[in-house]
Structures are given as structure tokens and as C-alpha cells.
Amino acid sequence: MITGKSLIAGNWEEGLGEEFSSYNPVDDKKLNDFKGVNASQINIAVIQATIAYSSFKSLNFDERATFIEDVASEIENLGDELLEVCNEETGLGLPRLKGERGRTCGQLRAFANLIREGSWQQASIDTALLARIPLPKPDIRRVLQPLGPVAVFSASNFPLAFSTLGGDTASALAAGNPVIVKGHPSHPATSELCAKAIEKAIEKNNLSKGIFSLLQGGSPSVSSNLVQHPNVEAVGFTGSTHVGRILFNLAASRPKPIPVYAEMGSTNPLFVLPNAIGNRGRDIAKGLAGSVTLGTGQFCTKPGLVFIVKSENSETFKDALVTSINDIQTGNLLNQGVKSGLNKKLKENAARKEVATLAGGSINEGTVFSIQGKDFLKYPELEDEIFGPVVLVVECEDMEELMGVAKQLNGHLTGTIHSDNDKESIALKEILEDKVGRIIYNGFPTGVEVCSSMHHGGPYPSSTSVLATSVGIAAIKRFCKVTCYQNAPQEHLPEALKNENPRGIVRLLNGKYSTERL
């Protein structure tokens, strides 16, 4: 039974703000009614999070890791109901949602392992030199610590892996921060079920209930009130550049500014260089069609721009892309907003005389547009993300024009190079290093590994920080602060900085990595 309520620091409460409803995106039928929270309820959630912070941060590593593993188990314990409710709200299909649930639980467990391992705190110890001339050197130790209450804004396109208990929540909790989630209004029942899972894990571990709240709401005021609450210390956001920037601006203009880690719009340019298009153009086209339509084109890393140099081979490539896209039965779009947004963008492109429609053209199918390189530069908006299974092929006269266009690009999450000549492509790589967060070779950008080396971020407008990732275990650093201790007694130091190092945590010891005790 879906209650339509919000979980506010352990209490399921009916919202006192604006009502909204959830819909099945496949048949547009109404599913459930929800009541959004009001300012006073937001305030209670944040105040309770602030109070809970002090006990939550003082848990030891094992206690926090066990709690996070229990969250994963409780998600699994929701069983098929979670997948069915989520499918009703998103139309993403049970196989995909089953996979996404696996990823969600996997990423929670990866953070639990990370906490236990300990090196994420980046402990660093410089020991004292009492005999140093002219002044003794003090004992200095530094470590990453939790921040305080973190606000998380869920994404619509990953209702499990980047929503209520997704990567932002997992990384913020793992670091030791209470979390207040603003649920996405396009899958509120899914959020409610996930909140029930975390509620059970909190009860099982006897933790303070203030460490988690789920605030339902469809009104922008819920978001702005949450970001502006003086006790919120950081924000995680996945969504559009438009909304991400509004939240960023609100956070930057607070009396005490806070960071907004926003993962926003990206069109993920993909370059097929002449040698590669000659050698394996058809295969690349087929793979590209799959990447463009994966998740109905609603992935942050969907390649929406393809750059090629005109030739006979490029004609074959385009034909193969069109054939491949036409062969693919696209899935459902996530909600009415995505449908109308896509429809608008398709119409705008079709109306541009320089843009040709090679395949599709409606919201129910994969679409391939094309444009000449020189015309592409006339319309800066062509670089903006189109959410849906759409790709624009940019046909350049020669490599010089292609490189010139590449230099004009804004920031994206990824850039992809298809090339069979590493020397020829090195200049393009050098351009992309300043344009994207991840460079993929001879592959496709969709499919983001959760591992230590992953970076899911990039220059603005794809994200708000070129140092932060929202996927992969490095995501935990966003929700930390540095604390440094000078000549501190042992019992005042956090575990990772004590002389004893029973876990063998990797630490910088006088500038060298070491697992030794002192």
C-alpha cells in the first residue's frame, strides 16, 4: 500500500503543501495522489538531521558499513513489489529495473566495503620533530570527515540507482552524513518503498531516525526551501542544466554558500575518424544505434552528437546508422515532461532548413538528424542535450573542420574517439581533455562502471565541479570536509589518525604511503 506520505525523520507524515499525482507513462493513467511537504516540514527534517548528525558521525566504520549493507538487503527484501511499482511509474521494463536494482544494491555494498577499508578518509600524518631548529615541528594529522546534513535531488532516469537510495544518498551516508532526499515527482511510490527499506535498516541498527528523510513534492518551492535551509551543508543533484543551475545559484547566494554537486546536461560527442569509418563504419554505426536508443535515449551519457568527415565511407556509415536505428524498437519515455520536451526539440530541429531528418522524427522511434559542420556552428543550441533516442550527425568537409568544431564544444560528461590510428587521433584527444570528463576509445559512452577509477562528471554545463564524480567510489569525497589536528592526544583523534592502525589503513606517513602503525 502506497500512502502518499513523506518520511520525516522517522515519521510518515501527510504533506501540508501542494498535491501532485503520479502517472503511468505508457498509458498516461493516473496512479496515486501525493501531498508535497511545506516549509515547516522541510525545516523539521533538516533540524532532525542536524541533531542526528552528531551520533551518526561517531559510529565506527563497522557500524556504518553494516547499516549500509542492511539498506541494500532491505531493498532486496522489498522483492518484486519494488520492481512492479517502479515499472508502473517509469515504463522502463522489469529486466532493466532488475538490473538497476542490482546496481543500486551493488553500489551501496561497494561504499560499505570502502568505509571498512578506510583509505577513503585520506589520512595523513606528519610526525613531530621536537629538535628542529629554529622551531620544533609539531605533530600534524589530517583526515576527511562528514559534513552535516546533505540534500539529495533524485533523477527521473534512474529511479533506483540515482534516486532515493542511489549513488548520491549512498555516498553521503557512507561519509557519515544525514540525508534529506527530495523525491522525484515522476516516481514517488518507488521513492516511498525505498524510504521504507531505509527506515527498516535504521530501526534494525538502532540509529537516530533523523539521519534520513524523504520529502515528496512537485513544487519548485520544496527544492528552493531545502537548498536554502541554513543547516544544509551540501547538495547532490542529477537532472537538467536548467534546474541544476537554479539550485547552484540559490546555494551560492546563501549567507553561507554551500557546494551543489550537480550532474546536468551532456550530449557526449562521438568522433568517427576517417580510417575507422573506412575499416569498420557499419559496425560502429550499429553499436552507436544501440547506445543512442539504450534506455530510450534517456541516459546521461547518450551520444547525441556524432562527428564524421564526408566521404563514400561516411555515406555507408550514415546508411547503416539509419538502418540500425530503424530496426530498433524503442522503449517508453519516462514521463509527460520528457515526451513534450522531446517533441518540442524534434520539431525545432525539423524546422531548421540546414537539418535533414534521416530516420524517425517522432517521439516513438529512434531519430537520426544530420547537418553540415559549418552549419552546426550557427546554432549553439544544437549542442544542448536532447533527452530521448535522438542523434545528430555532423558532417565535416575534412579533419581540419572537424577539429575546429571540436575546439568550439562546451563541457560534456564524455567524449568518444573511434580511430584506427593512434597518432592521427592524439590531437583530438588533447582537445577533448579540456572538454569532457571521460574519453572513450573505440566504444560507446553508455554503461558507466562503478569502480575506483570511474569519473562521471565534466566541465560545465555537464557538471558544476571538474573535481567531483557522481558515479564510482570517489563520489564520497563530495560530502566530506578536511579536519586537521595539531599535537592532539590519541583519544581525541579519529580512528584513521591514531598511532595504532589495527586495520592497516593506507595513510600518508611523513609524505609516504604506509599501512604501518606508529
- Give the footprint of a second copy on residues 243-272 (CB under 8 A): 248-249, 252-253, 256-257, 259
Q: Which of 194, 300, 396, 480 is catalytic?
A: 300
> Measured from the CB of residue 202, what is the shortest distance to a second copy in angstroms?
22
Q: Among 178, 297, 373, 459, which residue sits at the site for a second copy (rule: CB under 8 A)? A: 459
> Measured from the CB of residue 497, what is the shortest distance to a second copy in angstroms?
9
Question: Is residue 160 involved in binding a second copy (CB under 8 A)?
Answer: no
Q: Which of 13, 88, 100, 263 is catalytic?
A: 263
Question: Contact at 8 Å (CB) between 237 and 262?
Answer: yes
Question: Is residue 141 involved in binding a second copy (CB under 8 A)?
Answer: yes
The helix (H) or strand (E) run that includes residue 190 is helix 188-204
Grid cell, residue 224, equals 528552493
> Measured from the CB of residue 507, what is the shortest distance to a second copy in angstroms?
10
User: Is 300 part of the annotated catalytic residue set?
Assistant: yes
- How far is the C-alpha of 126 from the C-alpha of 139, rounded, in Å? 6
Residue in the structure block whose three cell numbers are 557526449:
268
Grid cell, residue 304, equals 547525441
Question: Is residue 224 involved in binding a second copy (CB under 8 A)?
Answer: no
Of 29 and 256, nearer to a second copy (C-beta) is 256
Of 379 and 485, nearer to a second copy (C-beta) is 485
User: Rounded to the nearest 10 degrees, how much is the dihedral formed by the CA atoms of 284, 387, 300, 213?
Assistant: -160
Question: Is residue 337 involved in binding a second copy (CB under 8 A)?
Answer: no
Of 141 and 345, nearer to a second copy (C-beta) is 141
- Give the footprint of a second copy on residues 45-104 (CB under 8 A): 54, 58
Of 193 and 251, nearer to a second copy (C-beta) is 251
For residue 151, the Cα-to-chain-centroid distance in whole angstroms is 14
- How far is the C-alpha of 473 from the C-alpha of 332, rounded, in Å? 31
User: Is 263 part of the annotated catalytic residue set?
Assistant: yes
DSSP secondary structure letter of residue 435: T
Handedness of CA 253, 166, 481, 473 (dihedral sign): negative
- How far is the C-alpha of 174 from the C-alpha of 159, rounded, in Å? 20
Which amino acid would we find at residue 209? K
Question: Is residue 484 involved in binding a second copy (CB under 8 A)?
Answer: yes
For residue 22, list its beta bridge partners. Answer: 32
Q: Where are the alpha helices (DSSP H) in 258-302?
A: 274-293
Of 201 and 431, nearer to a second copy (C-beta) is 431
- How far is the C-alpha of 370 from the C-alpha of 39, rounded, in Å? 48
Question: Is residue 511 involved in binding a second copy (CB under 8 A)?
Answer: yes
Question: Is residue 412 involved in binding a second copy (CB under 8 A)?
Answer: no
Q: Among 40, 453, 504, 517, which residue sits at the site for a second copy (rule: CB under 8 A)? A: 453
> Measured from the CB of residue 455, what is the shortest distance to a second copy in angstroms?
4
- Cβ neighbours, 10 Å, residue 147: 22
Question: Is residue 4 involved in binding a second copy (CB under 8 A)?
Answer: no
Of 2 and 506, nearer to a second copy (C-beta) is 506
Residues involved in catalysis: 263, 300
